Amino acid sequence: MAIVRLRPADLKRAIADGMLTLQYQPQVHAPTGKLVGAEAFVRWPHPAYGMIGPSDIIPLIEQGGFHIDFDRWVVTALCEQIRRWELEGFDVPIVAANVWAQTLRSPGAVEMIRDAVIATDARVDVLEIECPRGTVGDKALAGAARKLRALGARLASEEFGDPAIAAAAKDFDTLKIGYPVAREMTAAGSASAAIVTAIVAAARKVGARVVADSVESPEQEDALGALGCEVVQGYLYGPEVSAAELKQLAAVGAKARPIEEQG
């Protein structure tokens, strides 16, 4: 594929030139079809190679070591979009973005996110930072996460399949059921079901919400719902959408999207 000819320097230049864009995967309250959140994903509309996604972007970031520059762009772009939605009268749901561990460990990580919120005048209470795995047991990462929460941002984590760290659930606003646990949820009594049950219990104890990622079938959704997880995201509700399309889904409900559009 021609795409392998891309170099880290090409992506770094695209970041500096504002050539990236965000798309959003809906987080849906399954019983009602209501849009209750979204996760932002970066796409790179390349003039020669078309739309480039995370599977090609992530290796370039790792090779180039510009995690902080990338995250600065993501957080700033997301805050700008949150503010645009507000000005358009859209009742902005929770919108999440992943942040690299390398960024959170950097001395200016919290200030970077604070400055993005201030510069854009975005609502910080709908901004959710998905913390990297290992945050709970890493003093530097956990410290940065606590500071972000003190700013008013929300925190999400996928680490709570391990009962040994359940006590740390109080430090997060969203506990995510990640891949592959959610994708393997097809029947109660499985190992995945036990993990989901533990996550839901930890969330209820501290008043956090639970979101299942990578949900692709009604059977998965039903099995998760039976265990108390009612908010899902994944290709069951279609691919990522633009900011404008997310507003439309909020108006009509995610389940109203025709099947052919979801494929």
**In sequence order, what DSSP letters do the residues of 201-233 get, joined into one string?**
HHHHHHT-EEEE-S--SHHHHHHHHHTT--EE-
Percent of the chain with pLDDT over 70: 94
d(C-alpha 245, C-alpha 237), whole Å? 13
Going by their DSSP bridges, the two strands 21-29 and 154-157 should be labelled as unpaired
* Residue 166 confidence (pLDDT) above 90: no
Residue 67 has pLDDT above 50, yes or no: yes
Domain assignment present for 138: yes
Q: Is residue 257 part of a domain?
A: no
pLDDT in tens, 122-160: 999 999 999 999 999 999 999 999 999 999 999 999 998
Nearest CA-CA partner of 124 in 142, 108, 107, 110: 110
CA 113, 116, 122 angle in degrees (round to 5)?
110
Pairing of strands 209-212, 231-232: parallel
Contact 116, 76 (CB under 8 A): yes
**Is 90 domain-assigned?**
yes
Domain containing 56 equals: 2-251
Q: For residue 214, tell me if it sits in a domain.
A: yes
Q: Residue 259: inside a domain, yes or no? A: no
- Output the average pLDDT for the chain: 91
pLDDT tens track for 197-256:
999 999 999 999 999 999 999 999 999 999 999 999 999 988 899 999 999 999 988 765
For residue 177, being part of any structural domain is answered with: yes
CATH of the domain at 90: 3.20.20.450
**Per-residue pLDDT at 256:** 58
Q: Which helix (H) or strand (E) holds 146?
A: helix 139-151
- Band the pLDDT of 165: cuts 50, 70, 90: confident
Indicate the range of 6-10, 176-180, 190-194 predicted with least confidence.
Answer: 190-194
C-alpha span between 51 and 47 (Å, rounded)? 9
For the chain, how many structural domains are there in total?
A: 1
54 falls within a domain: yes
Cα→Cα distances 55→42, 130, 155, 170, 248, Å: 11, 18, 24, 32, 28
Flag whether the pTM goes above 0.85.
Answer: yes
